Amino acid sequence: DAKTTQPNSMESNEEEPVHLPCNHSTISGTDYIHWYRQLPSQGPEYVIHGLTSNVNNRMASLAIAEDRKSSTLILHRATLRDAAVYYCLLNSGGYQKVTFGTGTKLQVIP
Amino acid sequence: NAGVMQNPRHLVRRRGQEARLRCSPMKGHSHVYWYRQLPEEGLKFMVYLQKENIIDESGMPKERFSAEFPKEGPSILRIQQVVRGDSAAYFCASSPGIAGEETQYFGPGTRLLVL
């Protein structure tokens, strides 16, 4: 069962920032928070991950709440190519499977 | 470094036939995961394998489905006596290790259509 909850869908205007929320209230101390996205007709691709501190990379930023029970993926300037389903998931490592939830379908409006 | 490769990309089978899906992980990756995705749904975990070992097959149907990851060669997901409900996209992913910060690298998927 998925250990994260996300809104089913969100909309954003092109070139505006997008904040995609994820709740993970049962997160454990060893769980890393990962984000993937899946463009139409493609396999998922890695976006970003973090443990406690906020993280930035060339694709996005990840803001993690102080209690770690929620996180937010931030796309600083949405483009049409960012239209995808975004998945938030937890990975504690070891021989543990990761579970993808239903994700958030992001629509970018020109 | 080539990414995760899957073949075939599209596969059409008639009911009762066998489907064999192949996955070549990224170079240096010894952990392979298979997922199934029905239309308009999320990815469902099926099986996690390490070289020559099945680590977790809790997401795989008990009958007709099997998976292997031999010492040499690609990982194979085998579906015997396919039924229409098996029509889906099957994705393979690989990772270099099992630490919590390890990411999974996905292939382009095999789209299976059962007539």
Give the pLDDT confidence of B46-73 residue by residue, as tens digits: 999 998 899 999 999 999 999 999 999 9
Task: Say what the pLDDT of residue B35 is.
Answer: 95
As a whole number, the mean pLDDT across chain A is 92
In contact, A61 and A10? CB cutoff 8 Å: no
- Contact (Cβ atoms closer than 8 angstroms) between residue A75 and residue A18: yes
More confident residue, B22 or B43: B22
Tell me the chain A residues in contact with residue B102 when contact means C-beta distances shorter than 8 Å: 91, 93
pLDDT score, position B1 = 55
| Interface residues on B facing A, Cβ-Cβ cutoff 8 A | 4, 33, 35, 41-45, 48, 55-56, 58-59, 91, 93, 98-109
* pLDDT-derived band at B93, boundaries 50, 70, 90: very high
pLDDT at A12 over 90: yes
What is the predicted pLDDT for the residue at A81?
A: 94
pLDDT, tens only, A32-85: 999 999 999 899 999 999 999 999 999 999 999 999 999 999 999 999 999 999
CB neighbours of residue A105 within 10 Å? 17
pLDDT value for A10: 97
- CB contact (8 A) between residue B101 and residue A99: no
Contact A86, A35 (CB under 8 A): yes
Q: What was the pLDDT predicted at A73?
A: 98
| pLDDT value at B86 more than 80 | yes
Q: How confident is the prediction for chain B on average, in pLDDT?
A: 93
Give percent above pLDDT 70 in chain B. 99
Residue A2: pLDDT band (50, 70, 90) is: low
Q: What percent of chain A has pLDDT over 70?
A: 98
Whether A6 shows a pLDDT value over 90: the answer reads yes
